[in-house]
Amino acid sequence: MNTDLIFDNTEIAFSLKNDSELERAYFLFKMISIEPLVKIGTAATNFAIKAHLPIEGLIRSTVFDHFCGGVNEADCLNVIEKMHSKGVSSVLDYSVEGKESEKEFDAAKDKILGIIDFAKEIEAIPIAVFKPSGFGRFSLYEKVSREDILTEPENGEWNRVIGRYDEVCKKAKENDVAILIDAEESWMQHAADRLVTEMMQKYNTEKPIVYNTLQMYRHDRMAFLLEEHKKAKEGKYFLGYKLVRGAYMEKENDRAEDKGYVSPICTSKFATDENFNKAVRYMMDHLDDMSLFAGTHNEDSCYLLMNLMAEKGLLNNDPRVWFGQLYGMSDHISFNLANKGYNVAKYVPFGPVKDVMPYLIRRAEENTSVAGQTGRELALLTKEKKRRKTL
């Protein structure tokens, strides 16, 4: 067993931050840890954006610069290159959300195609990503998920969604760049899952290129994984999965309660953790058929995966296993893993400031509500500040 507690090394964790960046990160997490402040700040920011008040500069120099790489791809290059100098790769995440028109879906698709081309040239970007709702209307996914009959225009619209997935996955295969597809709310996910499985059948014939996402806070996901594995073996294609716990727990539970059905979410954090670990173990036992991208800020989950790799005698940089964190969070995990030679990539969100606000608000709320997360970031930043003072 590999029991080294590598994540405590703050010198490695914050090696890219100068003293003033360290102070800024500390100040930001301190603010985020105050729940009423996040609530008021969110409401005030939403209002200011709607009222066209000039607050972009303020957002940019605070939350935006901490959690995002820039407003466009070129803007992110500095961050990408700096991280790569420490062995951490990037997944450029076009984080514009809530768009609803065909024109915007096509623009998002073109953006991802551009990133895949960019990735082919730049070693620091081995993986691309998109969100299902970036390529089609949420309510259309919902309707397809319910298996309702589509009207003729809706059929045409759904075919265009399929076309966007196909164009992106085809390009990913041609350029040998893995493509991750995020998972969203359970009531639209069934349609996305079916589509991604089709893409895996088509493009994962030689190795995993297309990766779906399994949200292990859903109690049905282990059964789904087993079923998909059976299908892949029969169909002779490889599986790729990003494993996460899941980001929409409150929304899921509230909707289930409102509509009177059993929530798809595990009944406790412990049950989610067990489910996540079970999927990690299963995937590690079947690495000849599948590859794993563990998207997590949970130290125990990372240690579990590291230990399983060691037990199986895998190299730390086995191409079938990746660790992933979000830019601006858990650098102590990303940079210490990279320092030990593991494959690590950080999602680097980018987009115009006002368009990435939903993403930024989720990060602020997550860091307020996930017990311990902000506390841990603050403790590590404090430790590093103290260490530097004693130099």
Nearer to ligand FAD, 70 or 295 (CB): 295
Nearer to ligand FAD, 182 or 193 (CB): 182
Nearer to ligand FAD, 245 or 320 (CB): 245
Binding residues with ligand FAD: total (CB under 6 A) = 27
Query: Helix or strand or coil: residue 105?
Result: helix
Do the Cβ atoms of 161 and 108 come closer than 8 Å?
no
Nearer to ligand FAD, 267 or 385 (CB): 267
Nearer to ligand FAD, 238 or 347 (CB): 347
Sketch the per residue contact string, 334 through 373, with ligand FAD: x for CB under 6 A, - otherwise.
-------------x----------------------x--x
Query: Helix or strand or coil: residue 340?
Result: coil
Query: Helix or strand or coil: residue 312?
Result: coil
Q: Which stretch binds ligand FAD (CB under 6 A): 100-108, 187-195, 202-210, 322-330?
A: 322-330
The pair of three-digit structure tokens given for residue 157, joined into one six-digit string: 């619209």
Among the listed residues 389, 387, 378, the one whose alpha carbon sits nearest the alpha carbon of residue 12: 387
Nearer to ligand FAD, 61 or 296 (CB): 296
Nearer to ligand FAD, 265 or 356 (CB): 265
Least distance in Å: CB of 273 to ligand FAD? 7
Residue 215 found at the interface with ligand FAD (CB under 6 A): yes
Least distance in Å: CB of 301 to ligand FAD? 6
- Give the list of residues 6+ apart from residue 107 with CB closer than 8 angstroms, or none: none
- Give the list of residues 6+ apart from residue 354 with CB closer than 8 angstroms, or none: 49, 56
Question: For residue 164, how far is the Cα from the chain centroid?
Answer: 20
Residue 33 found at the interface with ligand FAD (CB under 6 A): no
Among 15, 42, 72, 298, binds ligand FAD (CB under 6 A): 298
Nearer to ligand FAD, 49 or 271 (CB): 271
Do the Cβ atoms of 105 and 164 come closer than 8 Å?
yes
- Give the list of residues 6+ apart from residue 270 with CB closer than 8 angstroms, or none: none
Least distance in Å: CB of 131 to ligand FAD? 7
- Residue given tokens 């940019």 in the structure block: 60
Among 218, 297, 320, 363, binds ligand FAD (CB under 6 A): 297
Among the listed residues 221, 196, 224, 222, the one whose alpha carbon sits nearest the alpha carbon of residue 210: 196
Distance CA 199, CA 196 (A): 5
The pair of three-digit structure tokens given for residue 31, joined into one six-digit string: 């603010």
Residue 326 found at the interface with ligand FAD (CB under 6 A): yes
DSSP letters of 61-95? IIIIHHH-SBSSHHHHHHHHHHHHTTT-EEEEEE-
DSSP symbol at 60: I
Sketch the per residue contact string, 58 through 97, with ligand FAD: x for CB under 6 A, - otherwise.
----------------------------------------
Nearer to ligand FAD, 161 or 180 (CB): 180
Integer CA distances (angstroms), 282 to 115, 134, 278, 288, in order: 32, 30, 6, 12
Sketch the per residue contact string, 174 through 213, with ligand FAD: x for CB under 6 A, - otherwise.
--------xx-----------------------------x
Using CB under 6 A as the binding rule, the residues of this chain from 221 to 280 that contact ligand FAD are 244-249, 265-266, 268-269, 272
- Give the list of residues 6+ apart from residue 365 with CB closer than 8 angstroms, or none: 38, 42
Among 69, 87, 132, 324, binds ligand FAD (CB under 6 A): 324
Least distance in Å: CB of 296 to ligand FAD? 3
- Give the list of residues 6+ apart from residue 142 with CB closer than 8 angstroms, or none: 187, 188, 191
CA dihedral 32→299→89→210, nearest 10 degrees, is -100
- Which residue's CB atom is positioned nearest to ligand FAD? 295
Nearer to ligand FAD, 45 or 296 (CB): 296
Q: Which residues bind ligand FAD (CB under 6 A)?
A: 182-183, 213, 215, 217, 244-249, 265-266, 268-269, 272, 295-298, 301, 324-326, 347, 370, 373
